[in-house]
Amino acid sequence: MPLLGAIAGVRVGTVAAGIRKAGRRDLVVIQCDRGTTAVAVFTQSHFAAAPVIVAKEHLRHGEPRALVINTGFANAATGAAGLEDARACCAAAAQVLGCSAEEVLPFSTGVIGERLPVAAVVAGIPAAVAAGVEDGWGDAAHGIMTTDTVPKGSFLEADINGARVRLVGIAKGSGMIHPNMATMLSFVATDVEAPRPILQAALERAVKTTFNAISVDGDTSTNDALVMLATGRSGVRLAAAEGPAFTAFCEALEHLCAELAQAIVRDGEGATKFVRVEISGARSDAEARVVADTIATSPLVKTALFASDPNWGRILMAVGRAPITLDDPNRVAVHLNGVRVFRQGMVDPDYREEMGQKALAGDDIVVAVDLGQGAGHAAVHTCDFSYDYVRINGSYRT
């Protein structure tokens, strides 16, 4: 993880509160000065966790002064008691910070279906607030991890309207990754100034090609959330959701989100391969995305990639079952890391098995499929399925 720079107006504190395991950093409080604007995207799961519900409610009240994030317990599928627990954590942070409970947003990640140990969270909040520093993002990246094996963070600077602006972000996620609106948990801060609608437009534009274009196992969490805080301290203001300044900011934000999202895939539970699935020649971008997702989530494709087995028949199988209209299957061509393995309805006459094995021997793989139907294209990132994926998830709660 690179060195993560500070954003003026945001302080981050991380502590080991003993929420699930002793001595593990598991509680993060992100404080922001008044005047900070916040936008977010959340899971679309029918079983959205209690903190997601409460965070949405509080965002409707106005801008937050703090985010409280715990690991170990997802506080999902916990009924009315879970909502009470999430609100109790907000109230505790508000008391320490001298703000209203509605100015605190809660976030949780961990095991589904178990009550949040509120006492441990509440007891740890004062220390997390006291530990808050502007350059605390690195510790926070550790503090939001669950089955992650490495912390995930990104930092960059960009020139907008002749001034330098900063963006920093952290993310967690390793399994249960196939986002719909966001990823497991991610928090981004910037020093630009912009009204909520403009920031929301920028965030949704960035998410579409980054966090919403990755998959580890095809499953979307109950707790997915991505929040962006904008302090306005750079003096750069985005006045409209168009124009050179907005475009420059969107490009920087998309770059930041791409680094975070791809780091999640690289750290997929048990993953040994980082895979980019590229679809071209579709009738539309939407149909291309459907085919890309079908390949990226196929267990048979993913297990073949783990073994470096150029079993291109499994890729054809996935394309063949994708819910699109394929006018002429004989137009389809398949490449593995640049090696053409299939065209005109059969194996490429110049292809040899050893060529495919060599193409898949590395850690980074590109699976490219040209459907030969139009100009639509899409790309998603995924990983392989290894023995360790089953081991990790078979013993997750123990």
Radius of gyration of the chain (CA): 22
Active-site option among 14, 71, 78, 183: 183
Instruction: Report residue 147: phi and psi, to 5°.
Output: -85, 0
What sections of 283-345 are H helices per DSSP? 285-296, 299-306, 312-321
Active site residue 183: yes
Could you give the 3-state DSSP secondary structure of residue 377?
A: strand
* CA distance readout (Å), 311 to 301, 330, 354, 372: 8, 19, 12, 21
State the CB neighbour count (10 A cutoff) for residue 394: 9
Pairwise CA distance, residues 220 & 178, whole Å = 5
Instruction: Give, as one character, the DSSP assignment of residue 179.
Output: -
What sections of the chain are H helices per DSSP? 50-61, 79-97, 118-130, 137-143, 196-209, 243-266, 285-296, 299-306, 312-321, 353-359, 387-394
**C-alpha of 20 from chain center:** 23
Pairwise CA distance, residues 341 & 242, whole Å = 43
User: Are 128 and 19 spatial neighbours (Cβ–Cβ below 8 Å)?
Assistant: no
User: Are 210 and 265 spatial neighbours (Cβ–Cβ below 8 Å)?
Assistant: no
What DSSP string runs through 206-240?
A: HHHHTGGGB-SSS---SS-EEEEEE--TTS-B--S
Tell the residue number behind the tokens 């967690």, with chain if given. 172
Pairwise CA distance, residues 208 & 194, whole Å = 20
- Side-chain half-sphere CA neighbours of 145 within 13 A: 24
Contacts of 127 (CB under 8 A, 6+ apart): 13, 15, 17
User: Are 115 and 78 spatial neighbours (Cβ–Cβ below 8 Å)?
Assistant: yes
Catalytic residues: 183
